[in-house]
Structure 1
């Protein structure tokens, strides 16, 4: 998607990652952390900075008709894959916090079911005090990604000091409609050179076996796996980040 890969965005060197300080990444599903910002997470850890991961949904809807892996088994498998991916990125297991919201139905903050996760997220951010939070692009086409962004915005209103918010791109690379794209003056974008840690990012993505071709969950014809064309976006030595232009 040219709007997100614009060469007009400044290209920052790998060392620029350290300027973000302690960082929390919000992942709507297990794998979003590796796809959207695995390179940045690896660079932050190389710089010795703390990184936390908040998993928003339970990740169970990628293969909803599987009998070999019923919902509880799917959740356990995807959580194990996330732990493996975080190890590849040098993020410690104890830095993972799970909200366990329903995959495919993450509630927005205005819904009755949204109040509790907003409070949980605000409490987690107050406890960890990150300088930066990474969250999916506000209009990323998947509804769980949009709801995750909205939950964060609501949680920020409960904090005495708001961290810097950077938005990363996942589904908008291929599925964005014109209205999903950044509008003039809405955000500022920049590209990060992740060349030195690209192999780490690829290993983290590969840890999410169930979401890739050849998935062990092989008894659901309607099951989801990432297409090669989609994976190609995340095999580049660059990651794109956006933030509100008024910052």
Structure 2
């Protein structure tokens, strides 16, 4: 479905780079290490250039990209991927000391009514209450990965607890490659726009490259391990990013 998604997103109006200054203090919520760079790395870089504070929430432990590796057991995979996340954020100019690592199981982030959901909502809402972001970046609600959809549910439930609701911008990752027509955004539910990131697209590419375990055979003892394909990466080399906002 990549052509369907690309044609759909191409119809969205283009916002200039300086639009980002209006978003204010921002928190990006990433289901896995690399989603922050793939989905909104350009926006994060532009926010920092505009002097806006940015903080990060990492939802899952990121260990299921190579679940059969013996040389890199789960704790080592988690440590590796968290180190890659720190490097990527530093490239984008994002402070990392206050990153929230929720440590939820990769591939099994809890959805509403599942065990662990309520505790995760409480943890996330407390973090957001402490940081008071004006804008929250969250995966598209029907992005075709269960962890992305679960993350969307967590964020919406956490926002319902806040004294002041932030502006919610949804970014796309797997919708580029895997979304069927029913999973794509509809005009009745969101307005979509593209952000011009041409001035920082090189920084975004450097941040993506920091996630080496998802690009190169660093974890080489799991033949079924995950790697981002060239086709998938091509979507994130474009001079714009796609965002969706509830109408």
- Gaps in structure 1 of 5+ consecutive residues: none
Q: Describe how 1:128-207 pairs up with structure 2 within 5 A.
A: 128-207=131-210
CA distance in 1, matches of 2:127, 2:75: 25
Between the aligned partners of 1:184 and 1:47, the Cα distance in structure 2 is 30
| Consecutive aligned runs of 4 or more in structure 1 exceeding 6 Å deviation | none
Query: Over residues 117-174 of structure 1, what are the superposed CA-to-partner deviations in whole Å (9 max), with x where a residue is unaligned?
Result: 1001111111000000000000001000000000011111111111000000000100
Equivalent-residue separation in structure 1 for 2:12 and 2:183 (angstroms): 18
2:129 aligned residue: 126
Partner of 1:219: 221
CA RMSD between the two structures: 1.1
Rounded Cα–Cα distance in structure 2 between residues aligned with 1:47 and 1:178: 36
User: What is the CA–CA distance in structure 2 between the aligned matches of 1:90 and 1:18, rounded to whole Å?
Assistant: 15
Which residues of structure 2 form unaligned runs of 5+?
Answer: none
Scaled by the length of structure 1, the TM-score of the pair is 0.96
Contact 2:55–2:96 (8 Å) recurs in 1: no
Deviates more, 1:179-188 or 1:72-81: 179-188
SS at match of 2:203: helix
1:62-81 to 2 correspondence within 5 Å? 62-81=65-84
